[in-house]
């Protein structure tokens, strides 16, 4: 069997040397050479194909990548080779477009009586903030705030209100923030905030507009010195999130300050999600932050279909929760 596999590998190598298209996917199943190499579990061939330019994130008709094939065989070595190729590329074609218009966000009530936040994607409304995220947000607030040296006088910044799930948890702390700044751009969300009393809450400041208008404004000296910073802006690409990362060192007050973000990019596929998670950590590390990760179980409950299309953008059973802090060496520079 090993001889047969080696022969196949040699034949594929010869085809590549003769100019065979590395991007080819068969018509029947959409399988690429990288899928085939992962299926026969030939690590050397996988490396060769990637070196020749094979797409690490190519998907077949069932939306499986070669990394998924490797995982199905529990072949961690080949999976890591493919994942690391994705990390080196620094990008993924499955990130959501940044071409959402802010008017396309809408707050609605579903058939279960729950508030949901919808955005228009390819002409259809997709829920991007619903009740299934409450567990994530609650654990995020706990990780951000528990045993914080300034727990009695926290200054909090949240970028992206959505349904206000995480903001309600911040306000529900035994000692609510002494300053709670929320940046929100979507008109329909802002109207929802007015109807639900957020504009009247004490020590809450609402900034209407995109975060770039405030955080990157050198004349606005109030947007700094936060103990807690969180962001969840569904309608932006990873490149926008990375730009936000670059602002974090100037937003945090000191080495005790903590930062988190909704880690949802690529969460329709284990490989994509792993790549985005790793890239996020690398970029934060380059800015002088270290990240601690926690796993949150978000597997489906018995109420199948309850969350409708809101889970289409996050179909994995595990959420990777990030908590980042400034490295002491960075602060001392």
pLDDT-derived band at 299 (thresholds 50, 70, 90) equals confident
Task: With a cut of 50, say whether residue 101 has pLDDT above it.
Answer: no
Instruction: Give the residues across from 127 on adjacent strands.
Output: 118
How many angstroms separate the first and last alpha carbons of the chain? Answer: 58
Taking a C-beta distance cutoff of 8 angstroms, is the pair 43, 13 a contact?
no
Q: Within a 10 A sphere around the Cβ of 12, how many other Cβ atoms? A: 19
pTM for the predicted model, two decimal places? 0.79
Q: What φ, ψ does residue 58 adopt, rounded to 5°?
A: -65, 140
User: What gap in Å lies between CA 83 and CA 87, rounded to an integer?
Assistant: 6
**Mean pLDDT, the chain, as a whole number?**
83
pLDDT-derived band at 95 (thresholds 50, 70, 90) equals very low
Sign, CA torsion 66/301/293/234: positive
Task: With a cut of 80, say whether residue 107 has pLDDT above it.
Answer: no
Where b means 16+ CB within 10 Å and e means fewer, 108-141 reads eebeeeebbbbbebeeeebbbbbbbbeebbbbbb
User: What gap in Å lies between CA 114 and CA 126, rounded to an integer?
Assistant: 15
Sign, CA torsion 185/190/193/197: positive
User: What gap in Å lies between CA 333 and CA 330, rounded to an integer?
Assistant: 5
User: What gap in Å lies between CA 106 and CA 94, rounded to an integer?
Assistant: 23
């Amino acid at each position: 069997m090993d001889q047969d596999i080696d022969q196949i590998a040699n034949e594929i190598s010869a085809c590549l040397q003769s100019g065979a298209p590395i991007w080819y996917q068969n018509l029947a199943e959409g399988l690429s050479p990288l899928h085939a190499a992962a299926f026969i579990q030939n690590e050397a061939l996988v490396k060769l194909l990637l070196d020749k330019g094979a797409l690490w994130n190519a998907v077949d008709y069932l939306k499986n990548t070669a990394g998924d094939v490797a995982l199905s065989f529990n072949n961690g070595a080949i999976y890591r080779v493919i994942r690391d190729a994705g990390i080196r590329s620094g990008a993924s074609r499955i990130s959501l477009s940044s071409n959402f218009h802010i008017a396309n966000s809408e707050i609605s009530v579903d058939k279960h009586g729950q508030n949901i936040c919808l955005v228009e994607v390819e002409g259809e409304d997709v829920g991007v903030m619903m009740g299934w995220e409450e567990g994530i947000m609650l654990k995020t607030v706990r990780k951000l705030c528990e045993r914080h040296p300034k727990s009695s006088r926290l200054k909090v910044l949240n970028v992206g209100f959505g349904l206000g799930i995480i903001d309600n948890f911040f306000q529900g702390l035994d000692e609510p923030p002494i300053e709670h700044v929320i940046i929100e751009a979507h008109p329909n969300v802002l109207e929802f905030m007015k109807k639900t009393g957020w504009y009247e809450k004490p020590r809450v400041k609402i900034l209407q507009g995109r975060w770039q208008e405030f955080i990157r404004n050198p004349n606005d000296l109030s947007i700094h010195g936060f103990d807690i910073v969180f962001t969840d802006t569904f309608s932006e690409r990873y490149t926008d999130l990375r730009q936000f990362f670059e602002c974090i060192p100037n937003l945090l007050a000191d080495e005790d300050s903590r930062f988190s973000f909704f880690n949802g990019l690529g969460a329709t596929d284990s490989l994509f999600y792993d790549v985005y998670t790793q890239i996020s950590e690398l970029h934060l590390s380059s800015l002088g932050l270290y990240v601690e990760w926690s796993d949150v179980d978000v597997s489906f409950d018995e109420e199948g279909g309850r969350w409708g299309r809101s889970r289409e953008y996050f179909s994995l059973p595990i959420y990777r929760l990030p908590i980042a802090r400034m490295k002491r060496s960075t602060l001392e520079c």
